[in-house]
Structure 1
Amino acid sequence: MVNPEQAQQYLSGQGITLPDFVLAALVDQVNGIEECLSQHYAASTAMLIQLYLLALMGLGQGDKYLSSQTAPNGAARSFRYQSFPDRWKGALNLLRGLDKHGCAKDLIPPDPTAAPAFAGIWIGKGGCMSNGGR
């Protein structure tokens, strides 16, 4: 089971910052698959699956990540913006590669990078209707 402090520490390391109330709700969600995880995985693997799932859920909040951080005295933080589709697919692949039993699949958010596909056949029929339809 992941606690909010562990989740916050992991997400911060990934450059994802969430308000406490959002983090609490996401932690509740990922802890909801604990029974399935404990049936199929060692505790350490289960925790990684939950953390990767948290990252996927948190990535929907934005696509910036922490690129450098300096402290004592000259506190500075730099952020870099990576391609959101690349980050999404990377996190999703980590999760799917680890969760062979599909415990987290129902909680994975829909892929926000997927463009809707539109296909169809447009048929137009035209003609000249003058002189009474002749």
Structure 2
Amino acid sequence: MTAREWESLCDGCGKCCMSKLIDEDTEEILYTTVACRLFDAASCRCTDYENRQAKVADCVRLTPDNVGEIVWLPGTCAYRLVAEGRPLYDWHPLVSGDPMSVHEAGISVFGRVTAREQDMAHDGEYLDHLVGGEL
């Protein structure tokens, strides 16, 4: 798969751009509605994708080599599905031909961002933005 083909797998859901917490006791992943400072909630895309890793220290670059190790990727993630040899969902833009289908299907975080990481004064504030299960 070429780099361009790999990048085309992104469905634009925005879930990977939301802050996640890990319970130190159980190692459970806790999802929040707190967006990365580079996240554009209107488009569900990064505002500076090319430079994101230089600007956001904990931004993870998904690759074919590491995608299977990233436990917080949602079950709907196309990168994860492809790595597991599973098909893309009907709402995925590569299948539907419509970049809005991910939002229309309610899969994206469109309209669900409640805070931005730069607005969090301390780690405890993230708890106010937890969601049950995956986003």
TM-score (norm 1): 0.27
**Larger helix proportion of the pair:** 1
Which structure's relative contact order is higher, taking Cα pairs within 8 Å and 6+ residues apart? Answer: 2
